[in-house]
Amino acid sequence: MSPVSSLMSVSALALALAWSGAMPAAAESAPTPPAKPSASASKDSKSTDSKSKDAKSKDSKTADSKSKDAKAKDTKAKDSKSSTPAKPAAAAKPAASKSATTKPAAGKPAAARVAPTVHQPAPTVGASSSIPGGDLAALKVAVTAARNGRAAEAMGAAQQLDDPVARTLVTWLVIRHAPNDLGFNAINEFIQEKPGWPTQSTLRRRAERVLFQENKDPAKAQAFFADQAPLSGEGKVALARYLVSIGKRQDAAEWVRDAWRNDELNELFESKIIDEFSGFLTRADHKLRADHFSYKPDTDRALRAAARAGSDIVALTKARMAIARKEANGEKLLGLVPFTLSSDPAYLFAKSQLLRRADKPQEAARALLAGSSSDQVLADPDEWWIERRLVARELLDAGDFQTAYKVAATGVPPQADNYRAEQQWTAGWIALRFLKDPSRAAQHFAKVDDDQKHPITLSRAYYWQARAAEAMGDRGRANAAYQAAAKFPATYYGQLSRTKLGMAPVVLRGAPSPSFGARDTFARLEPVKAIRMLYAVGARDIPLTIYYDLAWRMEDSSQLAMLATLAESNNDPRGALVVGKEGLAEGHPLEAEAFPTFGLPNYSPIGDPVDKAAVYAIARQESQFNPAIVSSAKAMGLMQVTPEAGRQVAKITGVAYDERRLMSDQSYNVQFGAAELGELVAQYGGNYVLAFAAYNAGRGSVAKWIARYGDPRGPDVDVVDWVECIPFSETRNYVQRVMENYQVYKVRFNIPSKLQMEADLRGGR
């Protein structure tokens, strides 16, 4: 995008018109709602709170499985649109639009169609962001009450507010935290009048829940779902009630089955469905629900569904639960499953888990390959991919490269975009580096970027396309692929490619400067005013949700830069990071915004020296600058310091260890985290790959990997391969992300260094 001139850019003008309601929505059509769970882009996204010291297993949920809601982000829902409510169609990939509302297709299930991008932001208001003192006090009361579920108190305080945006903010919070007290009519009115306020999908889910619970007038469902398909189980059943009332029982049955098979319904809601619609549900529906929740694993939901399916399914589900939880009786329970289920995909999945953990990867592979190739009977193709990935890596360690390739390359494709890309990359990497078949590898690498746009995924694909081309002796194609990867200078593989080409490893692009008109438009946006109000009343965590939403929907780079500046001006590194990362992911030149240089307090070093860039690189990945975060492994604060690491630092440095201070004193936390990192860098002779890996997974794990895969400090080990061989998916990702962070932060802090990316990987100060 060219720099903004003194006049408001066309895109900024369009944004202003849309947010004021002056721009009509374009006609839309998109996928009908899925009959199977759609994959979320957030699955298996990197964890920021799972630092573990030698405690992970290769198949632990923190190390090698899906993150269901890593960001708790609901703003990226791609909804479907047509004309009248109907039954759900087959699963389709999410539509490409960012904020288009959608309708289900009329009549029979329709083929998926992609909806155009249509922004429906909130109305603009006066540019002043100040709020009178009386309003400020009332707003603070209202916000506190709303977020604690006290709707009446919140709405009572809101009546004292003169500022319309403040009143809107309170209503928005009440809908999110106490929708039942507000009622369906009020929630629906808000959705209709404020279509551009953040987290529209969450607001609709709240409305659907209340609509189902009130159950007063089925016709309300017809009106509510006339423009958009249900998003929740409650909404699907509310729509089914309406369809039954007009005699469309078959369509109603499809919606009930869709909710039953896919949605996380509580026990009371399950009972209501059985009471009202038991005739719509079959043994197959109950079995699929049991399967679906066995993958999570969710014991209560899975066993309730299994009990409705029959004693054989109960036996299978109990075995799966025991195996998933690594209980000692798992193998015994699997042996009690009736023989008639021995070829069931759920049985074979559990059998593979058992065999893999028993260090029998060849037998585990046979179980996986015997599984059905039809995604109609796999309740969760993504979990199948995770298991195939784990088994494939075990086979690589065992030297069975051909079977590893077969396990990785075949089977039902995962549903999630990032998993589909990972499957193709894994198959390509095995073909190139283990089977020495660059031609076959190139075919897989070429498919990695299908329907992908995230810089991390694309740069990885292009880098390995270049490596495959080099192996085939095609220097021209290799150079072109390296050039393509080099366009992403904030990514690990983009930096490797730039180093390969002799370019500066990191170049920080700048967002265009906003015009006066663009600044005025930005200041008038209601969500922007709401952010300022939330800061003013001390509710500093709530703006993060709004930042996520705005950063994903805004398409003007200068607007995004102003949004990041808003966060920075309020000393909110988490907000700035969210805006920068989302902007980079959407192709905006926001490297500086994505790597905040504030957020860590000053501290006095107490251990081996380590530069500021490395400390920021760790904190950005470990906590995303959240000082209050505590992981399941008790890693705490900005630097995610574990008690074990804290005691080790105290022993070495002589500084007293105080676990409470790790949470209450940010400087103390960073002091101990930096000391731990400095010790690791010194221990590994300046090798950042080993230091970062040990910071995440522990020294013991790193020692095992050196013994198994060689020492990346040596000349005979390909350090890029070494990182990709790390058996924990979390740590593989962690090392790459922290390494790319480190390169960018060296530039951000103007740290003189002759080190290039490959030198940092190899080691040496």
Residue 509's nearest CA partner among 584, 444, 581, 563 is 584
Q: How many residues are listed for the chain in this entry? A: 765
CB atoms < 10 A from the CB of 690, how many? 26
What gap in Å lies between CA 758 and CA 765, rounded to an integer? 13
Measured in whole angstroms, the distance separating CA 169 from the mean position of its chain's CA atoms is 26
DSSP 278: G
Catalytic option among 526, 586, 622, 724: 622
What gap in Å lies between CA 171 and CA 407, rounded to an integer? 51
622 catalytic residue (yes or no): yes
- DSSP calls for 634-691: --BTTTTB-HHHHHHHHHHH-PPP-HHHHHH-HHHHHHHHHHHHHHHHHHTTT-HHHH
CB atoms < 10 A from the CB of 111, how many? 10
Measured in whole angstroms, the distance separating CA 220 from the mean position of its chain's CA atoms is 34
What gap in Å lies between CA 331 and CA 327, rounded to an integer? 9
What gap in Å lies between CA 696 and CA 727, rounded to an integer? 13
Beta-bridge partners for 284: none
Cβ proximity of 289 and 260 under 8 Å? yes
- 218-227: long-range contacts, CB 8 A cutoff, minimum separation 24: 218/242, 218/244, 218/245, 219/245, 220/184, 221/85, 222/85, 224/188, 225/85, 225/104, 226/83, 226/84, 226/85, 226/103, 227/81, 227/101, 227/102, 227/103
Measured in whole angstroms, the distance separating CA 240 from the mean position of its chain's CA atoms is 31
Label residue 651 exposed, middle or buried (CB < 10 Å: 0-12, 13-18, 19+).
exposed
Q: Which two tokens stand for residue 282?
A: 């079959």
Residues with active-site annotation: 622
